Amino acid sequence: MATLNRVGELWQYRGLVRNLVVRDLKVRYRDSALGIIWSWVNPLLMMLVFTAVFNFLFIQSELRNYHVFLLSALLPWQFFSDSVIQATGSMVGSAHLIKKVYFPREAIPVSIVLSNLVNFVIALPVFFGLALISGANVSPWVLLLPIPILVQVIFSLGICLILSTLNVFYRDTAIIMSVVIQAWFFLTPIFYPITHIGEEMMILGVTFNARLWLRRLNPMASVIASYRDLLYWGTYTGFDFLLRTAVTSLVVLVIGYLVFLRYSPRFGEEV
């Protein structure tokens, strides 16, 4: 009951969350020559770099429109990684607010995830424009795009609540996460299709379905595969995996919120 009351309180402070989102977006591009245009330029530059590195130098992929294939996963991954990295240090970085003004502390990580969501949505037209120019297929399945977006937001919120709490008490968390995110990137099918993961792999004499367990143990692998199905392949066959990921994301969010509420009263003393 107390948790539901806290959710209701957060809703009452939705104006504050909106202002924090606007602030984050303004700070992101403050004093930059291109301003919000960086939301379009940045993913394009990243796509060019990764396409050159992974396609031309190493993989020599036979995938048609590899740059579109890459961008379809790179955009949501950037949304996730930016949210996690920024939210991890958000409570410590907002010490001046936490010590002076009362408000639901979870408004800070929530606003960071939402501001990155806005940035992601702003960048989507770049993908569709590039796909159309390249002659890639944009099918009606793209109308289901809000579903993986919602699942990713739920999962990101849970992870961000946990890490922002942990970083208040253990400042090494932010440093460790910068390394974890890099490893997480390579364990997620971003620059390669998930079908490149073998269904049979042997480690220490134990044979297992690597592709299946990657999707089970790495929710972002399932989410990214869903984006790619809708945006690049123009079809969707992974409803069962996305449903499981949605349940996992809800569990992570509930656990993250409970952990956050348990320790948030001590934030003022620790930051």
List the structure tokens of 235.
């079809």
- Tens digits of residue pLDDT in 131-176: 888 888 788 889 999 999 999 999 999 999 999 999 999 999 999 9
Tens-digit pLDDT profile for residues 124-136: 988 898 888 888 8
List, for residues 75-111, the tens digit of each pLDDT value.
999 999 999 999 999 999 888 888 888 889 999 999 9
Domain membership of residue 164 as a residue range: 2-270
Q: Which DSSP state fits 102?
A: -
Domain count, the chain: 1
pLDDT digits (tens, 9 = 90+) for 181-207: 999 998 898 888 877 776 667 676 677
Q: Global pTM?
A: 0.88
Buried/exposed code over 60-73 (b: 16+ C-beta within 10 A; e: otherwise): ebeeebbbbbbbbb
Q: How far apart (Å, rounded) are the C-alpha atoms in residues 200 and 114?
A: 39
Q: Is 110 helix (H, G, I), strand (E, B) or coil?
A: helix
Residue 211 near residue 230 (C-beta atoms within 8 A) = no
Phi, psi dihedral angles at 149 (to 5 degrees): -60, -45
